Structure 1
Amino acid sequence: MVTIYDIAAKANVSAMTVSRVINNTGKISEKTRAKVKKVMEELHYVPNQNARSLVLQQTRILFLLITDITNPFYTTVSRGAEDAAKRYGYRLLFGNSDESLEKEADYITTILTTRVDGVLMAPAGDPSIPHLESLLKHQVPFVLLDREVPGIECDIVLGDSKEGSRRLVGHLIDQGHRQIAMVNGSSSISSARHRLEGFKEAMKLNDLNYDSAYIHESSFGPLKDLSKMNNWLDQLNPFPTAILAGNNVLAYEIIRLLRYRGMRIPEDISVIGFDDFGPYADLDPFITVAAQQAYQFGYMGIQMLVERIQQEDKSGPWKKIVLPAELIIRRSVRALD
């Protein structure tokens, strides 16, 4: 393996000079710099990244931690984050917590031992606070994505979940629906709480009664067992004419259950959802959705993270970006007479 001492010997300079060329530090003439780089190319030298990191106190590595890679929203978020990282000269490592606090804790350990420069993270929920406090303790800059955690002050990129949900329910009401149900994520997740708030607000604005019996709390991730949701539907009387899904994964699960029950959409029941279905949404997914700007979540999140890393004062003031969702009307809602 070629070392900086081999480079120094052939270029007839000191090892310190070679180190300064590699790390772009110190005062070196352009002639000497060019000579050293030429020898590096001739010997096919690859810098030792770990050693370079010790000199610069930077790894030029960022970490993206999301909750569900199977969700098209997070797939597109990852694309935006990767593009931004590349633009700013960083490599991007990736982790998927599966909405699990245990897996999230393991990734936090990996992040701390890898010595990444910063983290863009969608937390599993409010109980993630010890993990975020660990990042703060070790002075690892981070930006939260899609979800807030009470008690944690930091940079964050959010979607307007409350307004998006309000518009979805408003659309159902405009089409004549009055008996509306909702399948939502865990109340320990801020975006799920905001979407429920939007549901309640739309009902109130249209003088409709809110009944908590018509709200089913589930997981934002894929469901192995639909029996709880099925039992919930069995207990609803009168049966809802429409269901709002808290995200796109839940929309899929709801449709799967309704078809198992022999129900047609929208002929027998209408279904709408939060988040679109990724880069292939133009292939006629038929579901009316509040589509978030997933790519911008990732891209802007990395931008904010890099800005925070480059600031001397990493303790604030904090930035908060709220991206609006777009109501996309398709064919999953039936207009009632």
Structure 2
Amino acid sequence: MITIYDIAEKAGVSAMTVSRVINHTGRISEATRKRVRKVMEDLNYIPNSMARSLVLQKTNILSLLITDITNPFYTTLARGAEDAALRAGYRLLFANSDEDYAKEKGYVEMILSTRVDGVLFAPTGDQSLENLQQLQKHQIPFVVLDREIPEIEADLVLGDSKEGARKLVDHLIGLGHRRIALINGSPDVSTARLRYTGYREAHLLSGLPVEDSLVVHLNYRDFHDETALDALLHHENPPTAIFAANNMLAVGIIQSLRHRGLQVPGDISVVCFDDFGPVDAITPFLTVASQPAYQFGLLGMQLLIDRIEGDSAQEHRKMILPSELLIRASTQPPKENR
């Protein structure tokens, strides 16, 4: 096995100089640095990152834990996080909890054993408190993304879920819809609570009643659940529009409506939170409250690196990113108003 002593002998320098080249420390001439690098390449030397991390107490590895890798919001967010990490000289480990607390817990245990320098963490819900407390206990810096855990003090990057939801419902009300269903996430997820609040506020400010029978709570990944939609469609006074609390729920709803022979928006209008990335640039269809997903990842990673490399005792920061209402082809006035 090639060691730094082999590199030093062949390059005509000390082992300390080789170590400084590998770790980017100390003052070394550019000529010496290039000579050492050339020898390392000739001998196919790969530094032992684990040994270095034990010495330096730093791995230059960060983790991104998200809730649904199939959701375009999170894939775009991941790109922003990776770009920011690489620019700062860090590598990124990806983990996907599938909105499953037990799976999230397993990944947190892996993160602790991997000795990462910090974690960008999108919680599954309020129960994630225990997992975040584990990171705190082991003094692993983290930034919370997308969903807030009330009992945790941390840097946060959130979307304005309440305002985005209100914009979507206001748009439907402006088209003449008076019976608008909400297919929402679980109440133990902060974004679902805020989107319900925005839905409710839009109704009340327009003088419309909020009917509990038109509000359904699911797991955000339950987008093929037929029972919720069946209950709404067989309601004694069914809705003329549906607000899906995220994009994946909207996909499942539209598929189920089409299987029943119902057209969107001819028979029923559909809106949702979050866009679909590059796909929508080609075939824009759904009216959405679009969030800047790339910025979520980019800003979250910048906050995390600041926390790792700067003053760890600085006050926690909270960034709320606005949504944009994009009106497309999935909404129109209800039949009785045409």
* Ranges in structure 1 where 5+ consecutive residues have no aligned partner: none
| More divergent stretch after superposition (90-99 vs 214-223) | 214-223
Query: How is 1:262-273 mapped onto 2 (pairs within 5 angstroms)?
Result: 262-273=261-272
CA distance in 1: counterparts of 2:207 and 2:165, whole angstroms: 17
Q: Is the 8 A contact 1:80 1:298 kept in 2?
A: yes
CA distance in 2: counterparts of 1:287 and 1:102, whole angstroms: 33
CA distance in 2: counterparts of 1:177 and 1:201, whole angstroms: 15
Q: CA deviation at 1:29?
A: 5.9
2:295 maps to which residue?
A: 296
The letter of the residue matching 2:240 is: T
The letter of the residue matching 1:36 is: V
The letter of the residue matching 1:54 is: L
CA distance in 1: counterparts of 2:314 and 2:194, whole angstroms: 25
Change over 3 Å in CA distance of 1:35–1:272 after alignment to 2: closer
SS of aligned partner of 2:255: helix
SS of aligned partner of 1:281: helix
SS of aligned partner of 1:204: helix
* Ranges in structure 2 where 5+ consecutive residues have no aligned partner: none
The letter of the residue matching 1:268 is: D
Residue 93 in structure 1 maps to residue 93 in structure 2: yes
Q: TM-score, normalization: structure 2?
A: 0.94
CA distance in 1: counterparts of 2:174 and 2:27, whole angstroms: 70
CA distance in 2: counterparts of 1:17 and 1:276, whole angstroms: 51
Q: CA deviation at 1:35?
A: 4.5
CA distance in 2: counterparts of 1:195 and 1:316, whole angstroms: 31
1:115 maps to which residue?
A: 115
Q: CA deviation at 1:222?
A: 4.3
CA distance in 2: counterparts of 1:31 and 1:179, whole angstroms: 74
CA distance in 1: counterparts of 2:6 and 2:93, whole angstroms: 32
Q: CA deviation at 1:260?
A: 2.3
> C-alpha offsets along residues 189-226 of structure 1, whole Å, 9 cap, x if unaligned?
10111000000000011000111111000111143442
Residue 333 in structure 1 maps to residue 331 in structure 2: yes
Query: How is 1:214-293 mapped onto 2 (pairs within 5 angstroms)?
Result: 214-234=214-234, 236-293=235-292
CA distance in 2: counterparts of 1:72 and 1:48, whole angstroms: 36
Q: Is the 8 A contact 1:143 1:305 kept in 2?
A: yes
Q: CA deviation at 1:105?
A: 0.5
> C-alpha offsets along residues 93-143 of structure 1, whole Å, 9 cap, x if unaligned?
101100000110010011111111111111000000000000011111111
Give the share of equivalent positions with the same residue, in percent: 58
The letter of the residue matching 1:335 is: P
SS of aligned partner of 1:108: helix
Q: CA deviation at 1:17?
A: 3.3
1:152 maps to which residue?
A: 152
CA distance in 1: counterparts of 2:80 and 2:27, whole angstroms: 37
> C-alpha offsets along residues 147-206 of structure 1, whole Å, 9 cap, x if unaligned?
001100101111100000000000011111111110000011101110000000000110
1:305 maps to which residue?
A: 304
CA distance in 1: counterparts of 2:10 and 2:84, whole angstroms: 38
Q: Is the 8 A contact 2:161 2:198 kept in 1?
A: yes
Q: Is the 8 A contact 2:83 2:298 kept in 1?
A: yes
Q: TM-score, normalization: structure 1?
A: 0.94
Change over 3 Å in CA distance of 1:70–1:29 after alignment to 2: closer
| More divergent stretch after superposition (53-62 vs 237-246) | 53-62
2:16 maps to which residue?
A: 16
Query: How is 1:31-70 mapped onto 2 (pairs within 5 angstroms)?
Result: 33-70=33-70
CA distance in 1: counterparts of 2:240 and 2:35, whole angstroms: 75
Change over 3 Å in CA distance of 1:265–1:28 after alignment to 2: closer
Number of residue pairs aligned between Structure 1 and Structure 2: 335
Change over 3 Å in CA distance of 1:13–1:245 after alignment to 2: same
